Structure 1
Amino acid sequence: MLLRKRAWDIVREDYPRLREDDSLAEAMRKLNACVSDGSGSLCALVMDDEGHLKGALSIWDTMRFMEDNLLRTGSLRGIEEDGFDRIFRNACKVAGSSVVADLMDRDMTVVGPDEPILLVLESFVKKGRSYAVVVEAGKVIGTIMISDVFREISGEIICRS
């Protein structure tokens, strides 16, 4: 049965949208809302004014950016609490004023709606991403998260056990 399932069977048509000039703070607000509401969306798609896909910004991208800004001084181990607070406050200022275009993923995992789920999984693994953008004829249909693929595969394994 799993071999018959396609990307369109599990695509999420509702996903957060950003613009390239949005601040990282705005991006984090939108991603945080997805985490808080339980929708499970791990990324937001970055679109231009005409609605064309420009990139994606994942939760991982935001965390890597914060890590880079926090660790500019090297390891945080052994730093006193007030020193850490100062470093964290400065990193938050940098992050809040950074724009999405500076850290978005321009080389996203893109799949077609008729792609078998196992090929979607292969795309995740090859690119090391936890999401894919489903595109048909140049138009974004939605996104697929690694959790969506996991749910389908684990469902098959549990059913057959």
Structure 2
Amino acid sequence: MLLRKRAWDIMNEDFSTIDESASLSEAIRTLRDSMKEAPENQIVVVKKKNGSLRGVVSIWTMLKAVEDMVLKDEDLSLTEEADWDRAFKRAGTACCSASLDGHIEENLTVLKPTDPMLVVLEIFRKKKRTWALVQEGGNIIGVVHLNDVYREVTRDLVQQF
């Protein structure tokens, strides 16, 4: 059964997208909202103005932005004189109004819908990614998460033994 599965069999067709002109706070909100429906979701697909793919903003790139812009802010030092609430609010405002430009991943893992499960598994293993986009005819039609691959691979193993 596993050998007959393809990327399209396990991909999620419901995934979040934002325009490349969106702010970091819009990306954060979009990902948080999508995680309410699909907790394993870790990415937001970023599209150019013409609708084509620009890249992805992942949970890791967003956390790195928060760390760089908020948690490492010089006003949030470990001194007794620091006004933590004011400094955190200022740093958070700066972070959320930042553009996505420096945070978009463009080195993407892309699958074809017809890629067999063994190819999907090999790509995930080699690239050490927890997600991959499924593209057909230049359009993103779905996202495969590592959880999806794990469920499919282990389903047949558990049933056989």
**TM-score (norm. length: structure 2):** 0.84
Name structure 1 gaps, 5 residues minimum.
none
Instruction: Say which SS state the counterpart of residue 108 (structure 1) adopts.
Output: coil
2:149 equivalent to 1:149: yes
- CA offset at residue 50 of structure 1? 2.3
In structure 2, give the amino acid aligned to 1:109: T
C-alpha distance in 1 between matches for 2:34 and 2:113? 23
Give 1:40's aligned residue.
40
- 1:10–1:148: 8 Å Cα contact kept in structure 2? yes
C-alpha distance in 2 between matches for 1:111 and 1:41? 17
Moved more, 124-133 or 15-24: 124-133
Aligned Cα root-mean-square deviation (Å)? 2.5
The 3 A distance-change label for structure 1 pair 90 and 155 is: farther
- 1:66–1:91: 8 Å Cα contact kept in structure 2? no
In structure 2, give the amino acid aligned to 1:40: E
- 1:11–1:144: 8 Å Cα contact kept in structure 2? yes
Give 1:8's aligned residue.
8
Give 1:128's aligned residue.
128
C-alpha distance in 2 between matches for 1:46 and 1:108? 12
C-alpha distance in 2 between matches for 1:88 and 1:118? 47
- CA offset at residue 60 of structure 1? 1.7
Instruction: Say which SS state the counterpart of residue 57 (structure 1) adopts.
Output: strand
- 2:70–2:95: 8 Å Cα contact kept in structure 1? no
**TM-score (norm. length: structure 1):** 0.84
- CA offset at residue 111 of structure 1? 0.8
Per-residue CA deviations over 1:59-96 (Å, capped at 9, x if unaligned) read 1211122122345369x99666x665455434422320
Moved more, 31-40 or 16-25: 31-40
The 3 A distance-change label for structure 1 pair 101 and 122 is: farther
Name structure 2 gaps, 5 residues minimum.
none
Instruction: Say which SS state the counterpart of residue 49 (structure 1) adopts.
Output: coil
In structure 1, give the amino acid aligned to 2:136: E
Moved more, 92-101 or 11-20: 92-101
C-alpha distance in 1 between matches for 2:130 and 2:122? 11
Give 1:115's aligned residue.
115
- 1:33-72 residue pairs with structure 2 within 5 A? 33-38=33-38, 40-72=40-72
- CA offset at residue 54 of structure 1? 0.7
Instruction: Say which SS state the counterpart of residue 40 (structure 1) adopts.
Output: coil
The 3 A distance-change label for structure 1 pair 29 and 71 is: closer
- CA offset at residue 102 of structure 1? 1.9
Aligned residues: 160
